[in-house]
Structure 1
Amino acid sequence: MESIKIADYMSKRPVIFTANMPIAQAVELFLQAGQIGGPVVDENKHVIGFISEQDCLIKMLEATYLNENHYTVGDVMHSEPLTARPEGSVFDLAQIMTSAKPKIFPVIDENDQLIGIITRSDVLRAIDDQLRAMYKQGHERLV
């Protein structure tokens, strides 16, 4: 499984956010894309944070109680998120995902610019594909 690369399973067109984006706009993007979290980038596509549906939900509830809606993504994003590299191993990332909370990792290139994301579902699909291929190969040897 070491040979399975993140680049082969990452999403190359993730929903991205900016720090000055209103939370309400971020929520709309989440709902349209069906993505549960995403990277926050600066004008050079460098990842500066991460925001999740849960982060938005907390602020939306707070805004409802206070009758205010002035929060931005920058107010609630998590700074310094964990990232992955496209040449990285899916297997190594899977091991990190078993103990770390992130369900989504921004994937960055050699210039630290965002090029995609990889989710737990993507990692599960990669491992499942590998196991199916191994099973098929083993089954063919027996026949």
Structure 2
Amino acid sequence: MQSMKVSVFMNRRPVVFTEQLPVEAAVERLLQSRQRGGPVVDAAQRVIGFLSEQDCLAAMLRGTYHNEMSATVGDCMYHGDVLTVFADDSIADVAQRMDANKPKVYPVLDDETKQLVGVITRTDVLAAIDSFFQDSYRQR
């Protein structure tokens, strides 16, 4: 399973946000994609934060309470160090990281440029492990 790489199972066209995007537009993107959150990137496609469904929910509740919606992604995103993985990481290693940490979506970075190249979710990792076991069963 160590030979199974993130690059094979990741979503290469994830929902991505910028700090200036209105939170309402971000919510629309999340709902249409069914992605639980996504990376926030700068102009160079480097990850500078993360926006989750929970972040959006909190911003929308505040907006409802004040009867206004003027928040941007930058106002409500997570600004700290975002847990990321690399495209060449093994699925087994990512699965272990997901077991120890709570994020459901990890931005995937290019090993050399450190730019965003996709995302991988727990569902993607589970599908990868399942395909490994399915292949093992067929070989018996």
Q: CA deviation at 1:68?
A: 2.1
Using structure 2 for the length normalisation, give the TM-score. Answer: 0.96
Number of matched pairs: 138
3-state SS, counterpart of residue 48 of structure 1: strand
Which residue matches 2:103?
102
Which residue matches 1:72?
72
Segments of 4+ moved more than 4 angstroms: none
Note the alpha carbon deviations across 1:49-100, whole angstroms, 9 max, x for none. Answer: 1101111011101110111211111111112211110100110100110120
**Residue ranges of structure 1 left out of the alignment (5+ in a row):** 139-143
- Output the amino acid matched with 1:68: E
CA RMSD of aligned residues (A): 0.8
Q: Of the two, which has the highest radius of gyration?
A: 1
**Residue ranges of structure 2 left out of the alignment (5+ in a row):** none
Mapping for residues 1-143 of structure 1, pairs under 5 Å: 1-79=1-79, 80-109=81-110, 110-138=112-140
- Output the amino acid matched with 1:78: Y
Using structure 1 for the length normalisation, give the TM-score. Answer: 0.94
Q: Distance in 1 between matches of 2:46 and 2:114?
A: 6
Which residue matches 1:141?
none
Q: Distance in 2 between matches of 1:29 and 1:131?
A: 34
Identity of paired residues, percent? 51
